[in-house]
Amino acid sequence: MRAKWVLCFLLLLECFAAFAQRNCQETLQLSRSNFDKGHLYSIPSILKPCIDKGFTKQEKIQAYWLLTQVYLLVDDPISAEDSYLKLLNLDPEYKVDEVNDPVELVYLSRNFKTTPVFSWHMAKVGVNIGNFTVINAQSMDGSNQSKGDYKSKLGFQIGTGLEIHLNDKISGIMDVSFMQRSFDYNRVMFGKDVLFKKERNSFFVVDLGGKYKFNKKKIAPFVLAGFSMNMLLGSNYEFNYTNSQGSEGAFESSGPSESNSNQRTSFNYGAYLGGGAQMRLKYSFVSFEIKYFKGFNSNVDRSVQYPFENGYHSDKNFLYAHVDDDYIANSFLFNISWIKPLYKPRKINKLTTKNIFNRIFKKNK
């Protein structure tokens, strides 16, 4: 019995909501009719109950658009600005129709700024491929003039970031991400022996840079540049060595993956340059970017590059006849980002020489 009463109550609420919605739709139509007839002063009081409670978001936008025009026509600029600002808070990307909208509304719109102060790069994911610059080739067989072959594998990165908008086109960016990079290395040793190594590095990356957008259209191309720092979180390698000159014929030596973090620099830095485009999806963006990172320092800790130097010793140097080249790691990166602008519609404060002096020398009344 109680369930029936609850059901009846819910049905009654639904009917009341539907009636209120229909009533507010009629209110909006009545207000438009009064506007067309020139009955302007009654419109704010007609719309207020449904603005407070009853209008959908889209209907409320239409109501504030109508109120803005009413206040402009009755010469109440303060109320017109207030109504237009409330409209922008509901729809920060609202644009007046400069051809069909009243010229007073067009001029009023130019007094407001809707560019977001910040944008949150809520999710940034991508892939990377390394590019290595050998500073000094090193080898246990003494053939330091020949370099090994570096073959980068596909890595990935995932992160987030914050964009600070200086104006409609220029912004500063700070991104933080986790990045993993992998590569293979092989080299011919002692004439016929073959050394093969797999290595994987993980980093915490901080990028600081700037971004320039070329337009504010639905698809906006951009360029970016900045400084990048990364901190090593971990590094592992595994070897395979084919000895073709053994006393009993050729044989292979291999081992499991092991950490070589102590042989890599903990902190690396460099610069990046790139570009891309971002596409608007209502109040957010999807961004596609490609950039190139150029490292500035060696990724190899030179103090432990050779065995027995500074008390360092590694069996890997002898078991696999390996010593690291002195190299710098660079990367090509491709990212896809979901960007959420944090809008703050606001009136533009137009400072002139006259009103600046008026503010400075204004007397207290």
Task: Supply the DSSP string of 284-342, one letter for each residue.
Answer: EEEEEEEEEEEE-S-SB-GGGSSTTGGG---THHHHS-----EEEEEEEEEEEEEEEEE
Residue with the bigger pLDDT between 203 and 34: it is 203
Domain covering 118-346: architecture? Beta Barrel (2.40)
Confidence class of residue 250 from pLDDT cuts 50, 70 and 90? low
Residue 190 has what pLDDT? 73
Q: What is the pTM of this model?
A: 0.74
Each residue of 74-91: pLDDT tens digit? 999 999 999 999 999 998
Sorted by sequence, the CB contacts under 8 Å of residue 265 that are 6+ apart come out as 232, 297, 298, 299, 300, 301
Residue 256 has what pLDDT? 82
pLDDT of 298 strictly over 80? yes
Confidence class of residue 208 from pLDDT cuts 50, 70 and 90? very high
Burial class (CB within 10 angstroms; exposed 0-12, middle 13-18, buried 19+) of 326: middle
The residue extents of the domains of the chain are 17-113, 118-346
Confidence class of residue 365 from pLDDT cuts 50, 70 and 90? very low
- Token pair belonging to 143: 């053939």
Domain covering 17-113: architecture? Alpha Horseshoe (1.25)
Percent of the chain with pLDDT over 70: 82
Residue 361 has what pLDDT? 52
Residue with the bigger pLDDT between 19 and 238: it is 238
Mean pLDDT of 163-185: 94
